[in-house]
Amino acid sequence: MAKQNKPTQAELEILSVIWELETATVREVHDRLNAQKPTGYTTVLKLLQLMDEKGLVERDKTNRAHVYRAKTKQNETGRQMLSDVLQKVFGGSALKLVQQVLETETTTAEDLKAIRRMIQEAEKKI
């Protein structure tokens, strides 16, 4: 994902809907977002058009209602954005990143067990 193609917060909200549905019309995205907070239809339409220009989504124009699909998978976008935060905020230190998350976010016992398993798997690769 090129630097200029990083999604804004509003674009991430739209991408979340599209990732969940796999493909979506403007109406479907609008309805989902509007259920969470008031969102204008034309705002969603304009953002999707801009996202198409940025290469974040692609538009299927074969039907009357344009259908949008994300050009990258959710985990790819997340990986790139996390990598940027890791480098820019934590100087590349995964330890500092994890420490920050554990200190500021509520972590369930299930999450901690899963994190331990991930650490054990990572240690096997060393």
Give 12-48 pLDDT, tens digit per residue. Answer: 999 999 999 999 999 999 999 999 999 999 999 999 9
Cα 45 to Cα 30: distance, rounded to the nearest angstrom: 8
20 contact partners, CB below 8 Å, separation of at least 6 = 32
57: helix, coil or strand? strand
- Which residues share a beta bridge with 89? none
- Taken in order of first residue, the domains within the chain and their CATH numbers are 3-70 (1.10.10.10), 93-126 (no CATH)
Sequential DSSP letters for 75-101: HHHHHHHHHHHHHHHHTT-HHHHHHHH
Measured over the CA atoms of residue 62, residue 72, residue 124 and residue 118, the dihedral's sign is: negative
pLDDT at position 4, please? Answer: 53
Give 80-120 pLDDT, tens digit per residue. Answer: 999 999 999 999 999 999 999 999 989 899 999 999 999 99
- Which pTM value belongs to this model? 0.77
